[in-house]
Amino acid sequence: MPVSGLAPYDDANIFARILRGEIPNRTVYEDEWVLAFHDINPQAPTHVLVIPKGKYVSFADFSTKASEAEIAGMIRAVGKVAQMLGLEEPGYRLLANLGEHGGQEVPHFHVHIFGGRPLGRMVMPA
Ligand code: AMP
């Protein structure tokens, strides 16, 4: 069942297709819980997406339905990928777009990692 009125998980979404190997991706990290790959339309010198392998649409969906191991796996992977990309010392930004007002385009929960230049303050203009 969807959380907070969101649509149910759509198996045809582009990240589901990437996870099934139907669409290529530039993988930077993969483990039991997540896949991390370069965004196809980068908004910063480094722009990587980290997605859980489980079928979750939203943050509410993920945080309420995922197992503790999946949640830990996702959080640990985001930190690990940022470190692997050399972003720990200069710093970086994490972002998750959720729902309509959040501008979420792909209905599979994901975290963006941006880095490689000073990113300014907070929310970018629409
Ligand atoms: P959003 O749902 O708003 O957080 O954004 C989805 C992100 O997925 C955008 O930054 C897109 O550029 C990115 N994206 C869409 N299709 C692909 C793809 N095939 N490979 C990598 N990134 C993608």
Q: What is the CATH number of the domain that holds 38?
A: 3.30.428.10
Structure tokens at 7: 């649509």
Task: State the chain's mean pLDDT as an integer.
Answer: 93
When divided into structural domains, the chain yields a total of 1
Q: Is residue 44 part of a domain?
A: yes
Provide the pLDDT confidence category of residue 126 given band limits of 50, 70 and 90: low
Reply yes or no on whether 101 is catalytic.
no
Q: Is residue 124 part of a domain?
A: no
Round to the nearest angstrom and report the end-to-end CA distance of the chain: 31
5 alpha carbon – ligand 1 mean position (Å): 23
pLDDT tens digits for range 38-60: 999 999 999 999 999 999 999 99
Whether 100 is in the pocket of ligand 1, judged by its Cβ within 6 Å, is no
114, 44 contact by CB (below 8 A): yes
28 alpha carbon – ligand 1 mean position (Å): 15
Q: What is the predicted pLDDT for the residue at 125?
A: 58
Q: Which domain holds residue 74?
A: 3-115
Q: Is residue 24 part of a domain?
A: yes
